[in-house]
Amino acid sequence: MPTALSYPQKALHKLGLVRDIDLALHLPLRYEDETRISRLCEAGEGQVVQIEATVTDVQVTLRPRRQLLVTVDDGSDTCVLRFFSFYPSQQKALAVGSSLRLRGEVKGGLMGWTMMHPSFQSAGGDLPSALTPVYPTVAGLPQSYLRRAVLSGLARADLSDTLPSPAGPVSLWSLRQALSFLHQPAPDVALAALEDRSHPAWQRLKAEELLAQQLSQWQARRGRDAMQAPALSGQSAVAGEPGLAQRLLSVLPFALTAAQTRVCAEIAQDLARPVPMHRLLQGDVGSGKTVVAALAAALCIDSGWQCALMAPTEILAEQHFAKLVGWLEPLGIRTAWLTGSQKTKERRAMLALIASGEAALVVGTHAVIQEKVQFKNLALAIIDEQHRFGVAQRLALRNKMNVPVEPSPGGGGDGEGASVNHTQDGVGAKPQPHLLMMTATPIPRTLAMSYYADLEVSTLDELPPGRTPIVTKLVHDQRRDQVIERIRGQIAEGRQVYWVCPLIEESETLDLANATQTHADLSAALHASNAPVMVGLLHSRMPVAEKKAVMALFKEGLMQVLVSTTVIEVGVDVPNASLMVVEHAERFGLSQLHQLRGRVGRGAAASACVLLYSTGDAPRLSQTARERLRAMAESSDGFEIARRDLEIRGPGEFLGARQSGAPLLRFADLATDTPLLEWARALAPKMLDDYPELAQRHIERWLGGKAEYLKA
Ligand code: ADP
Ligand code: MG
């Protein structure tokens, strides 16, 4: 029977400090110098000092509140210690005449030095010979306990080297050396080198961490390469006839851009292999990802298999559905539609179409991955706006494949002989569908190299012709009237306008209140002019049917202005919209602003985006806020903006730790440690080939059970 955990032990577990190695890798945030005793007469205001002094006076006062006041003298000056909470035992230790070693922050005042709640012990005793580490901790886990736990973890942990030699840039320090040093640095160390993590001990740790991350990515990639998937070469059932993709191309009202053609070829090549595709299609808003998805679907369907397309919201899913049905149904392809808000009867009919294979294409929201949905033979899963789905959802979609990889005669892919054997190592395991993920939030190169090393990336780096560039303006909230004037102008020209209301962190109710108010204000202001103007309101709390009705009015051009909370669903396509106003733009992430801005400029009309900002009570925006908004105004390139966003917010926020499931780097910094990243990237595949056991030990040491996440 396992022994019950003590309170601090539970706290250790909460920090993820379970194994000895976890403790050894729990590194200090900063250090305190307790190696020497200072004199009060040399102390400076606000300085943290360690002194040895004798108690000369003790008082307990009751006003203004109960406190213990202890006066001490170190021979150079005196200092008053204040304690607001104290136990009898402490009071005893602080009696007149006691000689103490004290540590705390000294503050000056008219009455001389004071220290609030200093730590103390009796004077004398050995001084530590190393700097005292201060660790990241949680409530209920005192530094002293944590320190002891870390040091004993460090002593017990297996720190034998896992790097094959020669190990390149990090051959100087061993892991053991580096860790011993970082937990107990000598007092004469250059603190600056520790703090900016340029010290060789830090270099070693960062290199190790990056290597672990690269190894697990490469391992996931190889695991996938060992799996099977149906080879989708898109051969039409009838020899000599043009394939479905060909026929789709010939009915499209436009020609593909060069980028679309290239990307389609990349995808087709992957699909034709009997190994699951794991590809990300990234392309700026409006770059035309949907048609690429449709062509991939056509290849899949033409090979006799089913394709599923999942989008994060109902409006977006419906838009895809409408578009795909419009393109594919005339070519004889049946498409099913799945959503959470569907009536039971309709859903049942759809489920039947999907299970029988009659529907070759399935479009929908999260409803697509529900348990009840049984595909006959799913071979390609497409996920739009993939960053809005979690790891679990991506895995669920992939697990929808439930037939063995058999050639499907006559393009009919029958699910006969479902003898699927599950094994651990991928070989002969359950076949996987191909996965195509799409995003308009491009991944900066350093992230692509690290977190997504296990992903093939296709990029649409060109917009379809005929787009007019969007002019972005920063306007102070006080000049709202001018913006409304501008809206009138657009409406007079027959154009449409989006007005996006701010995201108020963690309060949907406030978001809503704000949007409702803006809607009322705008309606009033615009009605004042004579022509009838319809101003609509769209927010996430509205019933789906109502949302759809509003969207439909806007799409058909009957509604001129659409006021919306942040969810103007990513991907909404209304080419007649030519002006986008974003209120409180300073509260949005750059990539999000860029996405929003991409809702306009989809037609031939000159389009603009007005970023309304407010400084609140402050006289002006903060430096970063200004820089960010300026970046938006200056650049219309999603990649450039994503790069700046990464710079400003760091990868943690960029990825959204929860969504990506990727363990974030604790020590290495992608922006500054690129050379180490390059090194790890080059070493990882070689290490898997030549030193597989070392590689396993290294992954285990650094990622423990977390490596699983990376496979999604
Ligand atoms: P996104 O990449 O943001 O999802 P969409 O797929 O919605 O972009 O495409 C944006 C618009 O551009 C759509 O109206 C689409 O039909 C159109 N489009 C896509 N490809 C082309 C092209 N090669 N030429 C002209 N218009 C295109
Ligand atoms: Mg899209």
pLDDT at 567 over 70: no
For 654-670, give one letter per residue: b (16+ CB within 10 A) or e: bbeeeebbbbebebbeb
Domains 238-416+425-460 and 470-635 share a fold: yes
| pLDDT over 70 (residue 135) | yes
Question: What does the alpha-carbon distance between residue 658 and residue 34 come to, in Å, rounded to a whole number?
Answer: 39
pLDDT average, residue stretch 656-680: 70
> Counting atoms of ligand 1 from 1, which one is nearest the CA of 293?
6
pLDDT digits (tens, 9 = 90+) for 579-612: 999 998 888 878 778 888 888 887 778 899 999 9
pLDDT value at position 412?
Answer: 38
Average pLDDT over residues 8-30: 87
**Ligand positioned closest to the Cα atom of 293:** 1
Q: What gap in Å lies between CA 602 and CA 286, rounded to an integer?
A: 7
Residue 649: its pLDDT value, please? 62
CA of 321 relative to ligand 1 center, distance in Å: 15
Given this structure, which CATH class describes domain 36-122? mainly beta
Please give the distance, rounded to the nearest whole angstrom, from the Cα atom of residue 286 to the centre of ligand 1.
5
484 in Cβ contact with 522 (< 8 Å): yes
Is the per-residue pLDDT at 569 higher than 60? no
pLDDT cut 90: percent of the chain above it: 43
* Residue 698 vs residue 429, higher pLDDT: 698
Q: With 70 as the cut, is the pLDDT of residue 298 above it? A: yes
For domain 470-635, the CATH class is alpha beta
Q: Quote the ligand 2 centre to 635 CA distance (angstroms).
A: 21
Dihedral sign computed on CA atoms, order 228, 278, 368, 231: negative
Return the CA Rg of the chain. Answer: 32
Distance (Å, whole) CA 445 – CA 448: 5
pLDDT of the residue at 127? 87
Cα separation, 625 vs 432, in Å, equals: 45
pLDDT band for position 328 (cuts 50, 70, 90) = very high
Reply yes or no on whether the pLDDT at 638 is more than 60. Answer: yes
**Proximal ligand: closest to the CA of 573:** 1
What does the alpha-carbon distance between residue 252 and residue 289 come to, in Å, rounded to a whole number?
A: 14
* Residue 427 pLDDT: 44
More confident residue, 290 or 649: 290
Res. 405: pLDDT tops 60: no
Give the integer Cα–Cα distance in Å for 514 and 502: 8
Higher-confidence position of 285 and 479: 479
422 has a pLDDT exceeding 70: no
Residue 93 buriedness (CB in 10 A; 0-12 / 13-18 / 19+): middle
Q: Given pLDDT bands bounded at 50, 70 and 90, which one contains residue 270?
A: very high
Dist. CA 269–CA 415, nearest whole Å: 25
Instruction: Look at residue 592 and give its three-state secondary structure.
Output: helix
pLDDT at 449 over 90: no
**Residue 542 binned pLDDT confidence (cut-offs 50, 70, 90):** confident
Choose the residue to mutate in 256, 290, 441 for probing ligand 1, maximizing ligand atoms within 8 Å of C-beta.
290
Q: Which two tokens stand for residue 607?
A: 């389009």
Q: Is the pTM of this model over 0.75?
A: no
Mutation to probe ligand 1, out of 281, 573, 607 (largest number of atoms < 8 A from CB): 573
Please state, in angstroms and rounded to a whole number, the distance separating the CA atoms of residues 157 and 22: 9
Is 80 exceeded by the pLDDT of residue 504?
no
Mean pLDDT of the chain: 83
Query: How far, in Å, CA of 157 to CA of 176, rounded?
Result: 10
For a substitution probing ligand 1, which of 254, 284, 327, 436 has the most ligand atoms within 8 Å of its CB? Answer: 254
Ligand 1 cavity residues, CB under 6 Å: 254, 256-257, 260, 283, 285-291, 440, 464, 571, 573, 602
| Torsion angles phi and psi, residue 454, rounded to 5 | -95, 20
- Measured over the CA atoms of residue 162, residue 165, residue 169 and residue 171, the dihedral's sign is positive
CATH domain 238-416+425-460 topology:
Rossmann fold (3.40.50)
pLDDT confidence bin for 534, thresholds 50/70/90: very high
pLDDT tens-digit series, residues 55-98: 999 999 988 888 999 999 999 999 999 998 888 888 889 999 99
Residue whose CA is at the smallest distance from ligand 1 atom 20: 288
Other CB atoms within 10 Å distance of the CB of residue 539: 21
Which atom of ligand 1 lies nearest, measured to the CA of 256?
23
User: What is the distance between the alpha carbons of residues 42 and 40, in angstroms, rounded to a whole number?
Assistant: 5
Per-domain residue ranges of the chain:
7-30+143-191, 36-122, 238-416+425-460, 470-635
Taking phi first (over 0 means left), then psi (-120 to 50 degrees means alpha), and beta for anything else, what does residue 367 get?
alpha
Give the C-alpha distances (Å, rounded to integers) separating 647 from 384, 447, 634.
25, 12, 16
Which long-range CB contacts under 8 A does 421-426 form with residues at least 24 apart? 425/223, 425/226, 426/223, 426/224, 426/226, 426/227
Which residue's CA lies nearest to atom 17 of ligand 1?
288
**179/620: higher pLDDT:** 179
pLDDT at 529 over 60: no
A 10 A CB-CB count for 231 gives 15
Residue with the smallest CA separation from ligand 1 atom 16 is 288
> Atom 5 of ligand 1 has which residue's CA nearest to it?
288
For ligand 2, the distance from its centroid to the CA atom of residue 384, given in whole angstroms, is 7
Q: What is the pLDDT of residue 568?
A: 58
Q: What distance in angstroms lies between residue 152's CA and the mean position of ligand 1's atoms?
A: 60
Which candidate, 49, 48, 95, 43, places its Cα nearest to that of 68? 95
